[in-house]
Amino acid sequence: MISHFSLDQIDESVAALQARTSKRPRVAIILGSGLNDLAASVKSPDAISFGELPHFPVSTVFGHAGRIVIGELEGQTVFVMQGRIHFYEGYSMAQVTLPIRIMQRLGVEILIVTNAAGGVNPDYVPGDVMLITDNLNFLGMMGHNPLMGPNYDEIGPRFPDMSRPYDRDLCALARTAASKNNINLREGVYAGVSGPSFEGPADLRFLRMAGADAVGMSTVPEVIVARHGNMRVLGFSGISNKANLDGSTVTTHEEVIEAGKIITPKIEKLIRGVLQRL
């Protein structure tokens, strides 16, 4: 397992990408489980499979396409990750977050992260979309922070501030986009855990007590690296299942993918609305 990448290795991936596209994206969008369809809306796309870039890990999860699509959406040049890399696939934190470093070196200024998540807040129902206002970094607290290892001062500070992981101005744009599209946008805290097993009832009661509104197996490492690299971040969780606080229901990956069909059009409207207002 690769514990960290040198700047030269990161730039090799960047050079390979630049050999495939002349576009210079300002905004990157990561599409989570079941949310891949948005990439089809990108105009004049250049598509690159993850496996075509040196050092780039390959996503092994059903429901994740594993492509980068660079093109135009609502007047912005966007870098869309159709699928992402997860820690539970057995990749290192450095591998999970290599795409973010590539975005940063390409000049991306804004990262929009999306994910499928379990609703921990009892008011949430499957199909809801939650604006992520903050996160709980359980992986980092357990010693899996993607910034561990050598720090390259030219791409970010050793001890980066995390007081505002999610950009307030971008959150305001998302709220405007939600009200213009009559979307009941939830707001809350996303708890990032490793997976791949879903949480048990006691895990979920603990997460609720800790202040989590949603729980998922991604996003937080990406956001930490993006903030380290001074990118502005906006995040949406699609609530794909209700947390099973009393052990009365079963959670499956199939229902996560199924809920994505209701969530995708809402997230697409929100992202389009934000891009129009940048």
Verify binding: residue 256, ligand HPA, rule CB under 6 A: yes
Distance from CA of residue 170 to its chain's centroid? 15
Q: Is 93 noted as a catalytic residue in this protein?
A: no
Residues 84-143 that bind ligand HPA (CB under 6 A): 116-118
Q: How far is the CB of 226 from ligand HPA (least distance, A)?
A: 20
Q: How far is the CB of 196 from ligand HPA (least distance, A)?
A: 9
The binding track of 146-185 with respect to ligand HPA, each residue x by CB under 6 A or -, is ----------------------------------------
Q: Indicate which single residue of 45, 241, 260, 263 sits in contact with ligand HPA (rule: CB under 6 A).
A: 241
Of the residues 41, 65, 74, 88, which is catalytic? Answer: 88
Verify binding: residue 198, ligand HPA, rule CB under 6 A: yes
Verify binding: residue 14, ligand HPA, rule CB under 6 A: no
Q: Which amino acid is at 227?
A: R
DSSP one-letter string for 105-156:
HHT--EEEEEEEEEE-STT--TT-EEEEEEEEEHHHHTT--TT-S---TTT-
Q: Indicate which single residue of 13, 135, 137, 240 sits in contact with ligand HPA (rule: CB under 6 A).
A: 240
Distance from CA of residue 235 to its chain's centroid? 7
How far lies 263's CA from each of 178, 182, 239, in Å? 13, 14, 8
Residues for the chain: how many in total?
278
Q: Indicate which single residue of 216, 235, 260, 273 sits in contact with ligand HPA (rule: CB under 6 A).
A: 216
Among 15, 242, 220, residue whose Cα is nearest residue 134 = 220
Q: What tokens were used for 18?
A: 């630049």
Q: Is 241 noted as a catalytic residue in this protein?
A: yes
Q: How far is the CB of 180 from ligand HPA (least distance, A)?
A: 28
Q: Is 33 noted as a catalytic residue in this protein?
A: yes
Residue 108 has φ and ψ, to the nearest 5°, of -65, 135
Contacting positions for ligand HPA (CB under 6 A)? 116-118, 195, 198-199, 215-217, 240-241, 251, 256
